[in-house]
Amino acid sequence: MNLHEYQAKELLSAAGVDVPHGLVAYSPDQAVYAATELGGWHWAVKAQVHAGARGKAGGIKLCRTYHEVREAAEAMLGRRLVTVQTGPEGKPVNRLLIEVATPFEREFYLGFVLDRKTERVRVIASAEGGMEIEELAHRPGALIECEVEPAVGLQAFQAREIAFRLGLTIKQVQRASKAIMGAYRTFRDSDATMLEINPLVLLADERVVALDCKMSIDDNALFRRPRLEAMRDPTQDDPREAQAADHNLNYVGLDGTIGCIVNGAGLAMATMDTIKYAGGEPANFLDVGGGASPERVATAFRLVLSDPNVRAVLVNIFAGINRCDWVAEGVVQAVRQIGLKQPLVVRLAGTNVEAGRQILRDSGIDLIAAESLSEAAARAVEAARAYAP
């Protein structure tokens, strides 16, 4: 789950990290009111979307008058912001962060990420702030990295070492170390998978301030973080993924034409790979899980068919905990309720497979039965190419 910038800054501030003074606005009038409440003569109007590179896309405006604040708010609110990270569809802008724009002396990059390969939290920093991490990674010597031992957490000496390597003075190192330690506590105590402060800036009075922040929380930990779960903004999510989450289905929308309904994440990945090998493109990743009841299978069908690009549907079930007869009943129920027009390819294997196949044969539904995954993928690709809506 991603957080908005202002939400991440609230968490950072609670951990002792300095952040700019700011207020959230949902309308141009509120934006102007926020600027008057904050005071000063310069403000940054920031679109709150779950994507980076907002500045290059017009999602951040520096304003010198209340009139400019209103114009910037009117230009952003109610529109979709398209950045290099959103794709061509963009993200809706429903709220803004109004901050006092403070000049700074230097900018840095600071990030924390869960490194699943080493099973450690990896701290990444750079003296070249304001740039995307992908760009920094290609600059020799630009990145400063260290790993955090889980048993003891990030130590103060590690934070100081990072700060010294950023080229700061002793006084500045003390303040930067405090910011680094506070950011780590925020990462740890929120069950985050990523926290990125870009840029972390040094002001003229030698304060170290988090000027921008991106943060992602582990969905599997939200059951013990109700406060964070309440921060979810469903308008920023793919509505199909949100619907899938409501039914405990794992769904990720893709750009292909073959809808996939599979049980088990590993089998779902293998199914997508086999479709690609057969010359097709999967339209989604969808794992219906181990307890795929007829109702869950029917819900999965509706979810897959909500994508207008789907030209064929492939159901691939290898039943262990699951039962093929349950899945077959779900397929029949879904096709009859929805009125499926696209070609349907079904491959069943495992527990009660013969009973499941018999249910499909007796249903009278027009479908293509396959014995193996490779056959199912090939038939689905062929059917998708031949389908004429």
- Residues identified as active-site: 109, 196
The answer to whether 263 is annotated as binding is yes
CATH of domain 21-101: 3.30.1490.20
For residue 263, the number of C-alpha atoms closer than 13 Å in the C-beta half-sphere is 24
CATH of domain 238-386: 3.40.50.261
Number of Cβ atoms within 10 Å of the Cβ of 75: 15
The answer to whether 102 is annotated as binding is yes
Structure tokens at 323: 């039962």
| pLDDT tens-digit map of 149-165 | 999 999 999 999 999 99
pLDDT at 5: 96
Nearest to 180 by CA among 109, 129, 116: 109
The answer to whether 74 is annotated as binding is no
pLDDT at 247: 66
Question: For residue 218, what are the contacts with CB-CB under 8 A and spacing of at least 6?
Answer: 114, 191, 192, 193
The answer to whether 212 is annotated as binding is yes
- Write out the CATH class of domain 1-19+104-235: alpha beta
- State how beta strands 214-217 and 2-3 pair: antiparallel
What is the helix (H) or strand (E) element at residue 173, kind and residue range?
A: helix 170-189
The answer to whether 198 is annotated as binding is yes
Nearest to 374 by CA among 274, 286, 280, 284: 274
All residue ranges of the chain with pLDDT < 70 are: 242-243, 245-248, 290-294, 321
* Domain map (residue ranges) of the chain: 1-19+104-235, 21-101, 238-386
CB 59 within 8 A of CB 83: yes
Structure tokens at 190: 């929120």
pLDDT at 292: 58
